[in-house]
Structure 1
């Protein structure tokens, strides 16, 4: 706030969390942090129940990574994990790993929440995760897992998959790398039988486009009003 936004003590700010948004005034500000005195509450949390949607995506290049983080946040992703697959470029793994370590990924989703008016910030796994471990833990916790496999004959349309889920049930959507899944990974998906294969249509989508579309369908279209 001090170095980038050039704010000072007594500057007016809006602060938010999952409980709402408030007007406030900065009462103390330093390089390491600051204090805000809260005034009037200006916004209540949205009236609705949004399902928990966990996005898992292979590491991408710089611009696609930023786009994925920004837009997935705008369409209500709950959690984001990055993975390394057989066809993931090593340079992409290093870039995403650095963004996770130095907080760049967290900054992007925070800015995305502020831009779109969300009162919460998606969670981001701090390390590049192992796909099989992620899927196994998710299924043990009652999360339904879907893997984007457009060319698989066993894939069902994403909209049909989303329609089959109860409105508030948690889901995980897994998106592969720019070069597609390897034969060994395809074989593992088939042999496991636990993750559902889904298709996002006839067109071949970029990884970040597929991720944003899938999160939008699984999140926004299943939100229920209470």
Structure 2
């Protein structure tokens, strides 16, 4: 029985449309990577995906000094729809934000939505860097649907526009529910939001606004105080486990 994913081939995210017989000219950075780092030659194989057309096997047709062209051959996996998990988070600084974005991609986030809270430590968000981390994580972990990265917005605005029918889970150290899976069970089969606050937590007014939402789900991550990036991984794992559990019934 063969493995579900091919982790031995080089995978690249491209913007071009993918179909059998299509010719794709790689961007400068990707061309340099194949030509000078991996030492690709004409005829070498790789995998391509663009988040729309599935994953495709391709081969290099031309490896020149200033361009690398690949030809698309056959689909290896059909496109999967976005997961429906909106991941809202207070931005962190530099390397910790890189880590959190990469792990969110690996853990199945469908969209990444930075929200600015009253205690957010990083006031500026480098969206290009975030998108680069999304692509890198998707290439490395076999993801076909690269999550969309949205512009930052104030938490109050995000909560004010939140659809009443969509559950919004947030990690609440004061949550009475000891079993987070019990809190999520039956509420995660469709669209859902997951909100991770800043270091230091939400301020009282923000927490009160969250608790007023009709669809809010309070999650307890246990007795320990977790860093925001650690809490993100733990909470996303819970959401995905609950979604898998709901799908089995």
Is the pair's TM-score, using the shorter chain for normalization, greater than 0.5? Answer: yes
Return closer, same or farther for 1:58/1:29 CA change in 2, 3 Å cut-off.
farther
Distance 1:135 1:184 in 2: 12
1:58-78: CA deviations, max 9, x gaps? 011212211111111111111
Distance 2:241 2:71 in 1: 34
1:7-48: CA deviations, max 9, x gaps? 6784533102454322213456899987532113233457xx
Unaligned runs of 5+ in 2: 1-29
Counterpart secondary structure, 2:185? helix
Unaligned runs of 5+ in 1: none
Return closer, same or farther for 1:156/1:35 CA change in 2, 3 Å cut-off.
farther
Q: Is residue 177 of structure 2 the alignment partner of residue 149 of structure 1?
A: no
Residue number in structure 1 paired with 2:7: none
Match of residue 75, structure 1, among 107, 113, 120: 107
Return closer, same or farther for 1:120/1:161 CA change in 2, 3 Å cut-off.
same
Return closer, same or farther for 1:162/1:25 CA change in 2, 3 Å cut-off.
same
Residue number in structure 1 paired with 2:31: 2
Residue number in structure 2 paired with 1:172: 193
Q: Is residue 160 of structure 2 the alignment partner of residue 136 of structure 1?
A: yes
Distance 1:32 1:108 in 2: 25
Judge conservation of contact 1:53–1:215 (CA < 8 Å) in 2.
no
Judge conservation of contact 2:31–2:68 (CA < 8 Å) in 1.
no
1:151-186: CA deviations, max 9, x gaps? 245x5642122213152x110011110111112222
Counterpart secondary structure, 1:55? strand
Residue number in structure 2 paired with 1:37: 71
Aligned-pair distance for 1:201?
1.6
Match of residue 142, structure 2, among 103, 117, 121: 117
> Cα RMSD (Å) of the superposition?
2.9
Aligned ranges for residues 9-20 of structure 1 at < 5 Å?
10=42, 12-16=45-49, 17-20=51-54
Aligned-pair distance for 1:203?
1.4
1:105-136: CA deviations, max 9, x gaps? 111111111111111101110x2112232233
Distance 1:80 1:53 in 2: 9
Q: Which moved more, 1:15-24 or 1:51-60?
A: 15-24
Match of residue 211, structure 1, among 208, 213, 232: 232
Higher RCO structure (Cα 8 Å, ≥6 apart): 1
Aligned residues: 212
Counterpart secondary structure, 1:150? coil
Q: Is residue 136 of structure 2 the alignment partner of residue 107 of structure 1?
A: no
